[in-house]
Amino acid sequence: MSSELMNARKKLATVNTLLKQKKPMPAVQAVYDAVMAMLRSSLMKAEREEFQDLIDSAVHCLNSDKELRQVYPLIINYSHGSEKDLVGTLRELLQELQKNVSEEAHLMAEQMAQRKIDGLEKGQQLIDANKIDDAKKLFNKLIREFKNDTELRAEIADKFIKANLHQEALSYLEEALANDPNAIYLYNRIGIVLRKMKDFETAEKYYLKALELSNKDEYLYFNCGRLYYDWKKWDKMADAATKALQINPNFAEAEKMLNFANKKAGL
């Protein structure tokens, strides 16, 4: 017996176990693969009959599985010699299972998205009620559920920024940046928070890092200019405004910034 058929026999032997493990799709796929292997092979009569008995047993397991019946209520008919018909039925069953998986995945994604929305709203309510520690506990629980969601951390940080809770916002932004070190918008937001905290030197480092990653964003230069305004670094403020205008000559706010910086610098 060929190695392909030996492998097919092993697959058929796993069908009952896979069904007990609530894995109907791998179970059906195992039967499908085994039947296809049989159809591709030349078998002696005794070998064919033995293989057909194995398939018959596997099909019986499929028909007896309650979970599978919910997805595909029709009985899978099989008799020796009807392997090609069985292949068609199994292919149809696999399509139904895939459709079911897709629908379940879509429903799960919708439920997860709603949990995120609800969690953010409840957290905002706690912040509004000045229950900051409770808000942080709720947000941290949400983050544990969506551990790879960088944007979630940024959204949480924005809520603390609006509440002038800059240290809390910084903590979530730094977590988000660790999750996605190339997210330019996070460097920008951290720069804004640090500027409001009057940690100008550290804020400048974040802005410069962001500009290393993207030097074609006029708003990034403008925000950097805002830092230099608070820091009273007029030359650097003028330079940032100039670069913003080089990218977008119609940027009126950057032009006002440049004029202000030049006036302060005595130019």
What does 204-239 look like in DSSP terms, one character per residue?
A: HHHHHHHHHH-S--HHHHHHHHHHHHHHT-HHHHHH
Q: What is the CATH number of the domain that holds 158?
A: 1.25.40.10
Number of domains in the chain: 3
Domain boundary among 79, 105, 131: 105
Q: Distance between CA atoms of 254 and 115, rounded to whole angstroms?
A: 41
The owner of tokens 């018909």 is 85
User: Which residue in 90, 18, 12 sits closest to 50, CA to CA?
Assistant: 12
pTM of the model: 0.63
Rounded average pLDDT over 41-54: 87
Is residue 132 domain-resident? no
DSSP category for residue 183: -
Amino acid symbol at 253: E
The residues, ordered by sequence, that sit 6+ positions from 133 with a Cβ below 8 Å of its Cβ are: none
236 and 186 in a common domain: no
pLDDT of 177 reads 94
Q: Distance between CA atoms of 42 and 63, rounded to whole angstroms?
A: 28
Which of 75-84, 196-205, 239-248 is predicted least confidently?
75-84
Residue pLDDT, tens place only, 200-237? 999 999 999 999 998 899 999 999 999 999 999 999 99
Is residue 116 domain-resident? no
pLDDT of 261 reads 95
Confidence of residue 267 (pLDDT cuts 50, 70, 90): low
- C-alpha to C-alpha distances, 171 to 140, 176, 209, nearest whole angstrom: 11, 9, 18
pLDDT for 159 beyond 90: yes
DSSP category for residue 131: -
Domain boundary among 191, 210, 229: 210
Residue pLDDT, tens place only, 160-179? 999 999 999 999 999 999 98
236 and 187 in a common domain: no
Task: At 59, list the tokens.
Answer: 């099909």
pLDDT of 42 reads 81
222 and 202 in a common domain: no
Q: Distance between CA atoms of 71 and 135, rounded to whole angstroms?
A: 42
Rounded average pLDDT over 97-112: 82
Q: Distance between CA atoms of 199 and 191, rounded to whole angstroms?
A: 9
97 and 13 in a common domain: yes
Q: Are 132 and 67 in contact (CB under 8 A)?
A: no
The owner of tokens 């069904």 is 19
- Mean pLDDT score across all residues of the chain: 91
Is residue 42 domain-resident? yes
Which structural domain, as residue segments, surrounds residue 99? 3-105
Confidence of residue 138 (pLDDT cuts 50, 70, 90): very high
Task: At 228, list the tokens.
Answer: 């230099």
